[in-house]
Structure 1
Amino acid sequence: MPLAVATGRARLPLFLLLFMGLASLLPLVPTSRGQPPPTPTTVTVGLIVDAASPVGKIANTTIPMALDDFYAAYPNSSTRVQVLTHDSGGDVVAAASAADDGPGRARAILGPQSSVESSFVADLATRAEVPVVSFSATSPSVSPSSSGSFFVRAALSDAAQASAIAALASHFGWRPRGPRVPGRRLRRRLRADAVLAAVYRLESEQTRAFVVHARPALAERVFAAAQEAGMMSAGAWVITDGLTGLLGSIRPPPGVIGLAPHVPVTPRLRAVKRRWAHRFMRDHRDAEPAEAEMGCYALWAYDAAWAVASAAERLGRAGDLSSSSPPGLVVGGRSGGPTDFSDLGKSSSGKKLLAAIAATTFDGLGGRFRLVHGELTVPAFRIVNIVDDARERSIGFWTREHRLIRQLGDGSKSSNRGLGPVIWPGDSTVVPSGWVQPTSGRKLRVAVPAYVDPGYRPIVHIDVDPATNRTVAGGYVIEVFEAAMRLLPYALPFEYVPAPSMPYNTLIDNVGHGVSAATCPT
């Protein structure tokens, strides 16, 4: 039986809708008996993703599902978010074109997918005063805190996990004087042979602790090259949260350590995960079952869509999103051409919608949704160990207060400090040292004629600096040799050694027999 509430004129039925996990209910609009409810105001939101990528597939399933769930929870909403999707194909210009071309002007944009695309689109959106809400652009180079920015990061910044990675390095004794990153490698899309060459160069160096932070396709190539070079079982490998959230797609080798945002497991989350997995496999029939795992990108996309719908509803109730209000950006289709950004205009509701999104808080799938300076925050990271079939097992957590601990809630207990046991690559239980004697410990000795006629010095010469006693070679032959050395798929240190004058055949014989150039007979 429905509950009844007494009013001044009549007893009206009140049906209670219980939606598990919601922080608060939006006010419902009463309707008079016999009158249809008012038609909701359509709020057009652009979605810019690379549809063929793992994150793009996740977004195309998650965002419509999140909006369906939102309006199922709030059926009397005065607004309805309509999503116009544009496939950027991972191209920066195509992503920017999506923000300026087409028949449907957007009041907000979800995405773009990558940080490079987001930086370009966010600049256009800021000029048009249209909020850009990204659930996957994690690079700190795209800053939501810059003055006048309309970019919002409904995801974690890469900088948020830097301290957790440093804590792992210190915990396992890698570089005890303080973890550092000597350089970043493989930042671009590279061919498989180029990736293999870069891995071989790493193999020739001292470091044996590696952090992989890359797009899924590049990460797969790195792991394949590391296995081919025999480096997986010779060190420690750590993947960042973006890759841990895509285990079903990248399938890293066993023994890898991964970081992931800690998400409280709730009955609502378990129920949504079951529905999401079914919907994902229905939307992407060529996907592997392992891909139908709701990781961090799915959680961020779901909560980002919910936040936009919630903010739009609050503005709609206040009358700030009337259908006559001219938005600022166009999404999808064509107008003046793929790079025509001259007629952006400005959204009349953009500033208010941005403020509403920034102020939105609720209990989301990924935990408490709250933006601080335009970015999502997380109280803890989960540390996992990858086992067979790209499955994960939890070995602990990292929090800013307690650092590395085995269980949340017991950070003050000394028995809870540190991490659980790790199975390293090669089924080893021994912690990798993170450092080895480099294979480049021995240098290639290159014989160069000690004396050449002055007229041939532009071809080849060798000199010894009397002040430093350093041997320096030069000339066309040396330049060709050093260019060839740079093309090798590994690092090969070498040094030039002056060779006494001798017949060419004698020199070749001495080199073949390993006779030092310095002791060759004159």
Structure 2
Amino acid sequence: MADAQTIPIRVGVILDMDGYGEMAFNCLSMALSDFYSTHSHYKTRLLLTNRPPKGDVIGAASAGLDLLKNVQVQAILGPTFSSQASFLISLGEEAQVPIISYSATSPSLSSTGSPYFFRATLSDATQVDAIADIVEAFGWREVIPVYEENNFGEGIMPYLSDALGRVNARIPYRSVISTLATDDQIEAELYKLMTMQTRVFVVHMLSPLASRLFIIARKIGLMSRDCAWIVTNGITNELELLDQSTLESMLGVIGVRHHVPRSKELESFETRFNKQVLVGSKLSIFGLWAYDAATALAIAAEKANLRDVKYIQTSSNSTDLEGFGVSGDGPNLIKALSNTTFTGLAGNFRLVDGELEAPPLEIVNFVGHGVRGIGYWTKDSRIVNELNSKSANLYADFTPKSKLGSVIWPGDTTSRPRGWVIPTNGRKLRVGVPVKAGFTEFVSVTWNADNSVRVEGYCIDVFEAVMAALPYGVSYEYIPFAYPNHTTAGDYNSLTYQVYLGVSIFAFFFFMISRAGEMFDNNMMNVQNYDIVAGDVTIVANRSQYVDFTLPYTESGVAMIVPLKDVKRKNAWIFLKPLTWELWLTSFCSFVFLGFLIWLLEHERNDRFQGSFWYQVGTIFWFGFSTMVFAHKEKLRSNLSKIMLIIWFLVVLILTQSYTASLASMLTVQKLQPAVTDVDFLIRNNKHVGYMQGSFVYGLLKKMNFPESHLVEYNSPEKLNELLSNGRIAAAFHEIPYIKLFLTKYCSGYTMIGPINKANGFGIVFPIGSPLVKDVSRAILNVTEGQKISEMEKKWLGVVNKCLDPDRLATPHNLGLGSFWGLN
């Protein structure tokens, strides 16, 4: 009676009955059996009709046409591959029949363009952010994707590229391997990878090709401790299909897969599946998704109240592509599917815009005999150690790498791979360095007897330390900016422009026509172009129009070097200088006042303070001023007078001693002052000034309205000292690092005034848009914030002497009332 009352709903299945297809079909059948055994009151019953697609796209299309036209199914489950699904989705939309795939993972398939397509599995794009976070966690900056040459492999690449770009990891090369590639072809491609410096690989392919890839990679030595391999769920979802030799070859590989929570229902199903299914059919996560897809369709069919009715014919055309009708229950069924939620074997089942809501990802490590979990990834918390809020908060202050468990890497080591090696045939970067006669402490280029080049100096040490601090290796060679006769080939503008010319042949000809002679001479035709310029190259605006600079690694600014002059004091009234006029006047009045007070207290009882009027006035003045040298001879009789005199002696002692010290200092200490302190003074008085050969300061001085005839060139500290000492120039303009170096040698006679102009210090030059600029700038920060930069400065530039400050060397200040306020 129950069977008579049920309504059969025909559902098409497009599966080849090979190992995978048999496993999936058994899961579909078991899902319906389990569901209707617990939902016997449901009126609808799904009936499965399988049409094998014969493993190709045309076969899948033919099977779909047969199911729609001849069987008139209400829904189709499948097909297996993404390449088979594209045309089938169009057929389903035409017939208004839902196409539900539990294994087509290519991101190129989307439910947005077709409301009748439901992905009951997860898109490959759901894992790219997790992979990018893993790359960022271990500090790798270059990644080579290795993927299968088909719709499955290529579909993920745009998403993976964007995700890696988010964490500033670049893709220098893409390794594409055909599904039909022979072992020799795979080996040849892997040998090609070995010639490159990058050793971080992201593998996205299915298990049959991946097995061959890793076995060959192990054989040729590409599974060494320098290498890092990350595999996508295309491999981790099919671990059951990997044999032991493949697992052993994948020792140290990191993989991501969608997390399947363990449950009693899942354990029960696995037990029953292993008992009921023939030996050789291994259960994978695609079987669990197939089980949940069938369950969801059974629930939706009941919700939509489907009936076993024929299609509505909308056209009299009898061709295969237009001969089928339209399912009248299709709109109701897709609405019911969109609102179906339950807890399935693979986790929570919920469709959002036709796509299965993504669960957390599990990060696993291949350990030779299988995999073990080392962490998880969620969209909100990123990399976490455990899947709970407490653990996420506990590790909130730790780096992503610290949230992962211990990892065994290729080579059976626990040390993180560098992710790069020196390439076997990679082209070295051409690093241009300036050639000059002076200030060689910054950059020095010398040629040996065999014509080999030796490059050293402070800037070179900084450059080498920065390149060593990069998270990957960069091979480079120094090429001096010089002619064959070892003379400099031009100024710093010309040197930096060679980087621009090195990447733009068209720009070279344009430059020769429109700017010949402005920044370099015509002999530049004989000089090599460069990939990088290292040295004492200042970051300035006109150069940034053609090249990119890193962050500066030296102090910035342009200042002025001027001689110190000795101000000698030859003044007949210098003995008055130690005290201010206020203090002189106050002292005079105080002496007179003291004499008057002593007279007032003594004249009635002391005959020495008696006599005629003018005699008493003279006594007052005599007694007051005689106390200055303690020469008074009058004996005092009043105790009050004696107390006052004792206090006054203390005041006089301090005053006289301070006067003596101040006068002695004025007569013996030099007063050194800058000969010039004002740039306008130099311009108004037509003074000659100096600038460094090849420096941008020449253009700066012209902008400051210095006549060109008043600009004198120098090329070394010795030449600069000569020009300043013999008066040929009144001042010299240079950048602060050079001035500090100059003062270490000639500190006593010169001082620095300024800075008078803002400059951005020395930087490393790259072509515009070079991906290395950001990495090198970060490395510069690491180097300049450490102790190593101080050691390099001490080695090459020495310790700048604490030159005597003219302000501190000036004659001591005159003493004033405020100096003795405490005596009141």
TM-score w.r.t. length of structure 2? 0.45
**AA matched with 1:211:** V
Matched, 1:394 2:373: yes
Residues 104-139 of structure 1, C-alpha deviations (whole Å, 9 max, x = no match):
221111111111111121111111111011111111
Q: How does 1:235-384 map to 2 (within 5 A)?
A: 235-251=227-243, 252=247, 253-280=250-277, 282=278, 285=279, 287=280, 292=282, 294-316=283-305, 321-326=306-311, 340-384=320-364
Q: Secondary structure at the match of 1:248?
A: helix
Query: Per the alignment, do residues 194 and 57 of structure 1 end up closer, same or farther by CA in structure 2, a change over 3 Å counting?
Result: farther
CA distance in 2, matches of 1:347, 1:428: 60
**AA matched with 2:387:** L
Query: Per the alignment, do residues 232 and 58 of structure 1 end up closer, same or farther by CA in structure 2, a change over 3 Å counting?
Result: farther
Percent of aligned pairs with the same amino acid: 40
Query: Per the alignment, do residues 194 and 322 of structure 1 end up closer, same or farther by CA in structure 2, a change over 3 Å counting?
Result: same
- The aligned counterpart of 1:47 is 13
1:142 to 104, 109, 131: 109
Q: Which runs of 4+ in 1 moved over 4 A?
A: 35-38, 465-471
- Please state how far the C-alpha of 1:181 moved relative to its aligned partner: 3.8
Q: Secondary structure at the match of 1:99?
A: helix
- The aligned counterpart of 2:392 is 411
CA distance in 2, matches of 1:249, 1:37: 40
- Please state how far the C-alpha of 1:468 moved relative to its aligned partner: 9.0
CA distance in 2, matches of 1:183, 1:95: 34
Q: How does 1:491-502 map to 2 (within 5 A)?
A: none
2:94 to 127, 135, 138: 127
Query: Per the alignment, do residues 256 and 436 of structure 1 end up closer, same or farther by CA in structure 2, a change over 3 Å counting?
Result: same
The structure with the largest helix share of the pair is 2
Q: Secondary structure at the match of 1:297?
A: helix
Query: Per the alignment, do residues 225 and 322 of structure 1 end up closer, same or farther by CA in structure 2, a change over 3 Å counting?
Result: same
Q: Secondary structure at the match of 1:264?
A: coil
- Please state how far the C-alpha of 1:53 moved relative to its aligned partner: 5.3
- The aligned counterpart of 1:223 is 214
Q: How does 1:70-149 map to 2 (within 5 A)?
A: 70-101=35-66, 103-146=70-113, 148-149=114-115
Query: Per the alignment, do residues 178 and 37 of structure 1 end up closer, same or farther by CA in structure 2, a change over 3 Å counting?
Result: same
Residues 386-411 of structure 1, C-alpha deviations (whole Å, 9 max, x = no match):
2233x221101011222111111110
**AA matched with 1:440:** N
Segment drifting more, 174-183 vs 204-213:
174-183
Q: Secondary structure at the match of 1:440?
A: coil
RMSD: 2.7
TM-score w.r.t. length of structure 1? 0.70
1:173 to 122, 139, 143: 139
- The aligned counterpart of 1:160 is 126
CA distance in 2, matches of 1:363, 1:300: 12
How many matched pairs? 393
**AA matched with 1:80:** R
- The aligned counterpart of 1:435 is 420
Query: Per the alignment, do residues 185 and 47 of structure 1 end up closer, same or farther by CA in structure 2, a change over 3 Å counting?
Result: farther
Query: Per the alignment, do residues 161 and 201 of structure 1 end up closer, same or farther by CA in structure 2, a change over 3 Å counting?
Result: same
CA distance in 2, matches of 1:371, 1:182: 37
CA distance in 1, matches of 2:294, 2:51: 16
**AA matched with 2:119:** R
- The aligned counterpart of 1:203 is 194
Query: Per the alignment, do residues 181 and 344 of structure 1 end up closer, same or farther by CA in structure 2, a change over 3 Å counting?
Result: farther
> Which protein, 1 or 2, shows the higher relative CO under an 8 Å CA cutoff with sep ≥ 6?
1
Q: Secondary structure at the match of 1:431?
A: coil
CA distance in 1, matches of 2:46, 2:173: 44
**AA matched with 1:155:** T
Q: Is the 8 A contact 1:106 1:327 kept in 2?
A: no
Q: Secondary structure at the match of 1:139?
A: coil
**AA matched with 1:433:** R
Q: Is the 8 A contact 1:363 1:369 kept in 2?
A: yes
Structure 1: tracts of 5 or more residues without a match? 1-34, 329-335, 444-464, 472-522
Q: Is the 8 A contact 2:384 2:395 kept in 1?
A: no
Segment drifting more, 256-265 vs 364-373:
256-265
Query: Per the alignment, do residues 195 and 149 of structure 1 end up closer, same or farther by CA in structure 2, a change over 3 Å counting?
Result: farther
CA distance in 2, matches of 1:469, 1:51: 68
- Please state how far the C-alpha of 1:371 moved relative to its aligned partner: 0.7
